[in-house]
């Protein structure tokens, strides 16, 4: 690195401060082969030059006995000035006994007068310049200029040093800001920087005199190594309150904190923080908590999730995903009649085998990937319906699940219509299931989207109805065609009076809205009978059939 600096800057500049002309000349002649030499005749001149050119001068050679201002005064001024203290000073003296007092006063070295050994003078100059430049490089890499905390690289170096002298219990903490890139995009980089800076100084203040250090390891991620038993939730609250105060109510940010408590010293420090970061990442999109502790369950789960995210594209390409069909039966007459089906995705993972959608749909809803799966399912379903139509000259409508994420896709309507068009089918053959909780997330947007879809002829089923998100008031304004009763009411209706009452309530609401009810999760005859008594029209559940691969569902159709 030193070599690079040298080639960039060319010859270094040395300031010779000496009142006797003859001495200036002798020194100048020694140095000018290696250095660019500038001269001052007394201390005051030297200080003026230094104030002007402190960022280009690499070394000061300083005489002590001078008129106007002596060398010791220059030295004192240099050492108390932030800019000037970065420049090394070699004192030139005849007085051998002054060595100690000179070094004490802040000189870095001394050269004896008279200068009768040029190679010694040159060697000393070179050594001191080299030392200072290396130190400056290290200082600049050590500290993150924005926050004043350590940089990531040196953070771990220091931890390793700290570990040599202490075995007290320590925590590794990772802290980051949810959607920080949005703060930058919406409020501008300088506001983003201001927030980061503020967090940096709050962390520094929190560390105070306690045993610990902190760094900014990447854009919006901070690592803190802290003597155990800190109240990190309180720290987060303090930071948030503080930022709310300085941001003029602008950026509303959310902090996530992952804590690896009482680190395991058998593992390397990098790993302590990887684990804290894992716990921190687990909080992504979870607005109910801002702090999570690392444990082995977290670890396994997160690695598993990362793997699933990594594999989704290849699995779509390799057709590891399949669509299963679960029949829905109309039970109004004496004999149940196959009326329609629900398309449910299945993942036959090459390594993990069959994975339940309950394991990956919420994960992919969290990061938007669910859209890829839904499009895959819609396309499969549309082409399957077209095939069955051709084969049987008739078919049953199939419901597909539409995730809450899809609702925000401005192309949703066109996508669905394009797909129908491509396979020559109609909105009578594909129904859309939207979960009740999506309605409460973003009621206005959803009502608008659903109205548009219905105008185009689609029928909408409200899935998992009764899970408790919609207000009754909202229900009367929501445009829907079918209610799907939440499965847990059916599961408990025979042994729990409250669940039974809720089933009845759902039936009442459906009559009020004038729409039919699908009861999901019906596994027993007794449940079916009870639901039939209540006036439920459609049943979906293991009692009739589990979700089936397309070929098996085809056999049902054939009958
Ligand atoms: P859902 O849409 O409410 O689907 C009904 C779930 O109940 C299905 O679970 C189905 O297999 C299960 N089920 C049906 N009858 C019974 C029964 O008698 N007993 C029991 N215990 N369970 C029954 P599955 O297939 O595991 O799907 C779970 C959830 O994953 C679905 O709930 C849906 O929210 C989501 N999902 C499935 N496929 C897709 C998809 O293609 N796209 C989206 N966005 N979500 C999907
Ligand atoms: Mg569904
Ligand atoms: Mg459901």
Atom of ligand 1 nearest to the CA of 523: 18
* Across 176-181, average pLDDT: 82
- The pLDDT confidence band at residue 6, using thresholds 50, 70 and 90, is very low
Which mutation among 354, 361, 369 tests ligand 1's pocket best, with the greatest number of atoms within 8 A of CB? 361
Residue 12 phi, psi (nearest 5): -80, 155
- The total domain count for the chain is 3
- The pLDDT confidence band at residue 241, using thresholds 50, 70 and 90, is confident
Tell me which of 142, 172, 194 is where a domain ends. 142
Q: What is the number of helices (H) and of strands (E) in the chain?
A: 22, 21
Which mutation among 344, 407, 494, 545 tests ligand 1's pocket best, with the greatest number of atoms within 8 A of CB? 344
C-alpha closest to that of 110 among 120, 361, 168, 50: 120
Global confidence as pTM:
0.60
Cα–Cα dist 239/190, whole Å: 18
What does each C-alpha distance from 499 to 23, 85, 294, 491, 542 come to in angstroms?
Answer: 102, 78, 37, 8, 20
pLDDT digits (tens, 9 = 90+) for 472-509: 666 777 789 999 999 989 999 999 898 899 899 899 98
Identify whether residues 374 and 330 lie together within a single domain. yes
pLDDT higher than threshold 90 for residue 430: yes
Identify whether residues 356 and 393 lie together within a single domain. yes
Distance 465 CA to ligand 3 centre (A): 8
Distance 521 CA to ligand 1 centre (A): 9
Distance 378 CA to ligand 3 centre (A): 17
Ligand nearest to the CA of 344: 1
Identify whether residues 180 and 98 lie together within a single domain. no
Identify whether residues 207 and 175 lie together within a single domain. yes
Atom of ligand 1 nearest to the CA of 547: 11
Q: Look at residue 302 and tell me if it is in a domain.
A: no
With a pLDDT cut of 70, the percent of the chain lying above it is: 94
Identify whether residues 156 and 271 lie together within a single domain. yes
Distance 464 CA to ligand 2 centre (A): 7
From atom 13 of ligand 1, which residue's Cα is the shortest distance away? 521
Cβ atoms of 296 and 521 within 8 Å: the answer is no
Distance 368 CA to ligand 2 centre (A): 18
Identify whether residues 212 and 285 lie together within a single domain. yes
From atom 21 of ligand 1, which residue's Cα is the shortest distance away? 521
Identify whether residues 260 and 312 lie together within a single domain. no
From atom 30 of ligand 1, which residue's Cα is the shortest distance away? 357
Q: Look at residue 218 and tell me if it is in a domain.
A: yes
Atom of ligand 1 nearest to the CA of 463: 3
User: Burial, 60: exposed, middle or buried (Cβ in 10 Å; 0-12, 13-18, 19+)?
Assistant: buried
Helix (H, G, I), strand (E, B) or coil at 468: coil
Distance 374 CA to ligand 3 centre (A): 16
Tell me which of 109, 142, 175 is where a domain ends. 142
Q: Look at residue 465 and tell me if it is in a domain.
A: yes
pLDDT higher than threshold 50 for residue 158: yes
- The pLDDT confidence band at residue 3, using thresholds 50, 70 and 90, is very low
Ligand nearest to the CA of 433: 2
- Out of 13-22, 76-85, 354-363, 538-547, the most confident range is 538-547
Identify whether residues 351 and 394 lie together within a single domain. yes
Distance 485 CA to ligand 2 centre (A): 11
From atom 23 of ligand 1, which residue's Cα is the shortest distance away? 521
Which mutation among 401, 538, 553 tests ligand 1's pocket best, with the greatest number of atoms within 8 A of CB? 401
For residue 192, what pLDDT is reported?
A: 87
Identify whether residues 203 and 219 lie together within a single domain. yes
Cβ atoms of 227 and 261 within 8 Å: the answer is no
Q: Look at residue 303 and tell me if it is in a domain.
A: no
From atom 24 of ligand 1, which residue's Cα is the shortest distance away? 357
As for ligand 1, residues whose beta carbon falls within 6 Å of it are 326, 344-345, 356-358, 361, 370, 373-374, 377, 401, 403, 433, 463-464, 487, 520-523, 540-542, 547
Cβ atoms of 459 and 481 within 8 Å: the answer is yes
Distance 184 CA to ligand 1 centre (A): 39
Tell me which of 254, 271, 294 is where a domain ends. 294
Residues with CB under 5 A from ligand 2 (ion): 401, 433, 463
Atom of ligand 1 nearest to the CA of 402: 44
Which mutation among 321, 347, 357, 384 tests ligand 1's pocket best, with the greatest number of atoms within 8 A of CB? 357
Domain range holding 252? 150-294
Distance 333 CA to ligand 2 centre (A): 25
Read off the CATH number of the domain in which 253 is found. Answer: 3.30.70.270
From atom 20 of ligand 1, which residue's Cα is the shortest distance away? 521
From atom 17 of ligand 1, which residue's Cα is the shortest distance away? 521
Q: Look at residue 299 and tell me if it is in a domain.
A: no
Q: Look at residue 300 and tell me if it is in a domain.
A: no
Read off the CATH number of the domain in which 316 is found. Answer: 3.20.20.450
For residue 8, what pLDDT is reported?
A: 40
Identify whether residues 318 and 396 lie together within a single domain. yes
From atom 12 of ligand 1, which residue's Cα is the shortest distance away? 521
Identify whether residues 362 and 385 lie together within a single domain. yes
Burial 519-543 (b: 16+ CB within 10 A, else e): bbbbeeeebbebbeebebbbbbbeb
Identify whether residues 436 and 528 lie together within a single domain. yes
With a pLDDT cut of 90, the percent of the chain lying above it is: 50
Read off the CATH number of the domain in which 66 is found. Answer: 3.40.50.2300
Q: Look at residue 36 and tell me if it is in a domain.
A: yes
Q: Look at residue 354 and tell me if it is in a domain.
A: yes
pLDDT digits (tens, 9 = 90+) for 384-407: 999 999 998 888 999 999 998 898
Atom of ligand 1 nearest to the CA of 323: 41
Ligand nearest to the CA of 399: 2
What does each C-alpha distance from 31 to 12, 23, 35, 121, 123 come to in angstroms?
Answer: 11, 12, 6, 9, 11
Ligand nearest to the CA of 358: 1
For residue 113, what pLDDT is reported?
A: 81
Residue 258 CB contacts under 8 Å (≥ 6 apart), including other chains: 173, 174, 175, 275, 276, 277, 278, 279, 280, 281, 282, 283, 291, 292, 293, 294
pLDDT higher than threshold 70 for residue 442: no
What does each C-alpha distance from 274 to 81, 172, 174, 259, 512 come to in angstroms?
Answer: 41, 9, 9, 10, 55
- Out of 62-71, 104-113, 294-303, 342-351, the most confident range is 342-351
Ligand nearest to the CA of 518: 3
Ligand nearest to the CA of 461: 2
Distance 344 CA to ligand 1 centre (A): 6
* Across 196-223, average pLDDT: 88
Using only C-alpha atoms, what is the Rg of the chain? 37
């Amino acid at each position: 690195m030193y070599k690079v600096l040298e080639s960039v800057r060319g010859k270094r500049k040395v300031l010779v401060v000496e009142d006797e002309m003859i001495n200036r000349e002798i020194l100048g002649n020694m140095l000018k082969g290696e250095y660019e030499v500038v001269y001052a005749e007394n201390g005051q001149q030297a200080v003026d030059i230094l104030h002007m050119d402190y960022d280009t001068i690499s070394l000061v050679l300083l005489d002590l006995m001078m008129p106007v201002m002596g060398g010791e005064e220059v030295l004192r001024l240099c050492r108390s000035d932030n800019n000037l203290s970065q420049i090394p000073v070699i004192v030139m003296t005849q007085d051998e006994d002054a060595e100690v007092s000179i070094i004490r006063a802040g000189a870095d070295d001394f050269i004896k007068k008279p200068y009768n050994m040029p190679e010694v003078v040159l060697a000393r100059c070179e050594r001191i310049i080299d030392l200072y430049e290396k130190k400056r490089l290290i200082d600049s890499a050590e500290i993150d200029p924005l926050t004043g905390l350590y940089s990531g690289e040196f953070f771990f170096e220091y931890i390793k040093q700290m570990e040599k002298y202490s075995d007290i219990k320590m925590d590794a903490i990772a802290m980051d800001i949810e959607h920080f890139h949005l703060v930058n995009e919406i409020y501008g980089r300088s506001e983003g920087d201001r927030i980061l800076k503020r967090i940096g100084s709050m962390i520094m203040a929190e560390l105070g005199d306690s045993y610990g250090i902190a760094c900014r390891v990447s854009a919006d991620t901070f690592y803190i190594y802290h003597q155990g038993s800190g109240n990190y939730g309180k720290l987060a609250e303090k930071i948030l309150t503080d930022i709310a105060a300085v941001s003029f109510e602008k950026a509303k940010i959310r902090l996530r904190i992952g804590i690896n408590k009482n680190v395991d010293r058998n593992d390397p420090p990098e790993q302590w923080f990887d684990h804290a970061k894992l716990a921190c990442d687990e909080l992504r999109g979870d607005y109910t908590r801002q702090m999570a502790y690392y444990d082995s369950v977290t670890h396994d789960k997160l690695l598993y999730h990362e793997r699933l995210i990594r594999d989704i594209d290849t699995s779509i390409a390799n057709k590891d995903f399949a669509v299963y069909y679960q029949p829905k039966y109309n039970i109004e007459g004496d004999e149940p009649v196959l009326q329609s089906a629900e398309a449910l995705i299945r993942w036959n993972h090459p390594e993990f085998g069959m994975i339940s959608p309950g394991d990956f749909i919420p994960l992919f809803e969290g990061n938007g990937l669910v859209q890829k799966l839904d499009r895959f399912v819609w396309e499969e379903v549309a082409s399957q319906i077209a095939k069955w139509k051709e084969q049987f000259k008739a078919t049953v409508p199939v419901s597909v699940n539409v995730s809450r994420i899809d609702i925000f896709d401005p192309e949703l309507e066109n996508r669905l219509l394009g797909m129908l068009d491509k396979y020559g089918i109609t909105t009578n053959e594909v129904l859309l299931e939207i979960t009740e909780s999506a309605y409460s997330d973003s009621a206005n947007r959803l009502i608008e989207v659903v109205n548009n879809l219905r105008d185009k002829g689609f029928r909408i089923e409200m899935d998992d109805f009764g899970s408790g998100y919609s207000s009754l008031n909202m229900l009367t304004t929501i445009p829907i065609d079918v209610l799907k009763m939440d499965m847990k009411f059916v599961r408990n209706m025979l042994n729990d009076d409250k669940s039974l009452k809720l089933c009845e309530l759902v039936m009442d609401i459906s009559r009020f809205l004038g729409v039919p009810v699908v009861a999901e999760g019906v596994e027993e005859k007794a449940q079916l009978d009870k639901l039939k008594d209540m006036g439920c029209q459609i049943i979906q559940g293991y009692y009739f059939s589990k979700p089936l691969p397309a070929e098996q569902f085809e056999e049902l159709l054939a009958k």
